[in-house]
Amino acid sequence: MDIEVRIRGLVLDPATNMPIVVLKDANSETVMPIWVGIFEANAIAVEIEKLAAPRPMSHDLTQNLIRSLNGTLERVVITELKDDTFYSVLWLRQGTEQVAVDARPSDALALALRADCPIFVSEQVLESARLNTTANHTTSDGPSAEQLKNWLEGLNDEDLGKYKM
């Protein structure tokens, strides 16, 4: 079963200084972090902040191509988590034909924002990601796994505005 999530915001991981996209279950307080690269985070931040680039960025180009081909992005689904890597699928529709396209989650999220389409995470991935957050991101000089989990779940609107391009 797929669970609808929303992008809660972007923050910097306090231990690694890498951007994190925080996804939140639309019907609960469950959050799921996805660590992304700086350029991918910027593409997401541009759309969250509704900034206009002087020329189309890659995700704008992709959205324009989909529209020009009379297609729509219906939904994005984060489908798998293997070896600490997330996988996702874009569900496109052109007329009566539905097409699934493999995509990096960061690209899928940037496109979902531009297309204003729903974002889903498979229930299994959501559970695995929660377990990985508490188990795999512990370092001797950084926050404990439980501290990271509590930090992610306790983020407020002010905290989520701290990511700057």
Per residue in 80-110, pLDDT (tens digit) is 999 989 999 999 999 999 999 999 999 999 9
Collect all residues with Cβ–Cβ distance below 8 Å to 163 and sequence separation of at least 6: 9, 10, 11, 12, 19, 41, 45
Cα separation of 78 and 25, whole Å?
13
Question: Is residue 150 predicted with pLDDT exceeding 90?
Answer: no
> What domains, with CATH codes, occur in the chain?
2-160 (3.10.690.10)
Answer yes or no: are the C-beta atoms of 39 and 83 closer than 8 Å. Answer: no
Question: Is residue 27 predicted with pLDDT exceeding 80?
Answer: yes
> pLDDT category, 139, cuts 50, 70, 90?
very low
| The predicted structure's pLDDT at residue 84 | 87
Neighbour tally for 155: CB within 10 Å:
18
